[in-house]
Copies of this chain bind each other. A is one copy, B any other.
């Protein structure tokens, strides 16, 4: 990957030198960040708000494949995936810690690429990198990010607050990230068979971007606050719509019914699914990695958001005994099952 480029051995810098090299130009932007990198721990001031903490572990060969994921995108996505959890609590993310395990095949330039992506995401989302750990790895690349956010105590939205007759809403569109992955996997196989063939990604830019460079929906949290809507429950779509619906329903002790025709699909998602012989609805239900927000609102709040093109009402909350189901376009009733992405099945 870096054969023809400059290669600087990480060992020349040592652990402290490497962290300094990678992070010394990062500026602290949030006034909750009292002390960032450089001591035993970071120091934060919540200024009276509640603190949200979320953490993710990303492992080479399980969560990403360096054969087709550019390192700068990997860094960017690793941050987004984590921020998404903070937004799913209705909070504002302000800090992350970044830990990297680097195999010896990684020159300094490769680590700089990862950090370039991290920095890009942090700039765009106003996030301070306040700590982390860097180590060599005898295995593949390991990325562990912890994100920290803030929210007023009365504004936290949990998964368990959905009430009967609430409306189920989702931001953006679904299934694109999964189909982007299918295209990347297909091109990788073609490349492995014949390295002369250039990857054919033409006309697939949107779904490839959904896979490689997802955007956590901070804007939706801000939009809901502007509309004076506090969702009754919320979760981010990381494992697929069906799996997330089951989480909201189970934790709220309710049932949820959705309508297939309401599920928002981008035309490129739809066409690519058809092209690959896949059911677009199944891609949305089980694909995952869309990082959209799925939330329930009370019926009174419907009028506040009904004209927003970026939020779609796809169903409603029912009593527990009705279970979780989808009414298909042909008006058949399907029970929803979690067949989402499961790191243990890969």
Binding site for B on A (CB under 8 A): 10-11, 13-15, 18, 34-35, 38-46, 48, 50-57, 59-63, 84-86, 88-89, 91, 95, 97, 99-101, 130-140, 142, 144, 146-149, 151, 153, 156, 158-160, 234-236, 251, 342-346
Contact = CB atoms under 8 A, between A and B. Distances in A.
B55 A131 contact: yes
Given A57-B144, A62-B101, 17 more contacts: A13-B344, A34-B156, A35-B156, A40-B54, A40-B88, A41-B52, A42-B54, A43-B156, A44-B50, A53-B130, A53-B131, A55-B97, A56-B99, A59-B137, A59-B139, A136-B343, A139-B142
A55 B99 CA distance: 8
A144 B98 CA distance: 11
A44 B88 CA distance: 16
Most buried by B among A51, A59, A148, A151: A51
Give the top 3 A-B pairs by smallest Cβ distance, nearest first. A139-B139, A61-B138, A41-B54
A24 to B, nearest CB: 14
A146 B159 CA distance: 23
A108 B330 CA distance: 44
A82 to B, nearest CB: 9
A199 B91 CA distance: 53
Contact of A40 (B57, B85, B99): B85
Given A39-B158, A60-B138, A153-B45, A342 B53 contact: no
Contacts of A158: 35, 39
A133 B55 contact: yes
A307 B80 CA distance: 53
B51 A344 contact: no
A41 B53 contact: yes
Given A41-B88, A131-B53, A142-B59, A15 B343 contact: yes
B138 A59 contact: yes
A344 B40 contact: no
Contacts of A52: 41-44
Contacts of A86: 40-41
A238 B41 CA distance: 14
Given A18-B344, A56-B99, A345-B11, A51 B43 contact: yes
Most buried by B among A18, A60, A134, A146: A146
A53 B46 CA distance: 12
Contacts of A57: 99-101, 133, 135, 142, 144
A229 to B, nearest CB: 18
Contacts of A91: 41
Nearest to A159: B39
A342 B15 contact: yes
A65 to B, nearest CB: 11
Contacts of A51: 43-46, 51
Nearest to A51: B44
Contacts of A95: 53
Nearest to A86: B41
A106 to B, nearest CB: 11
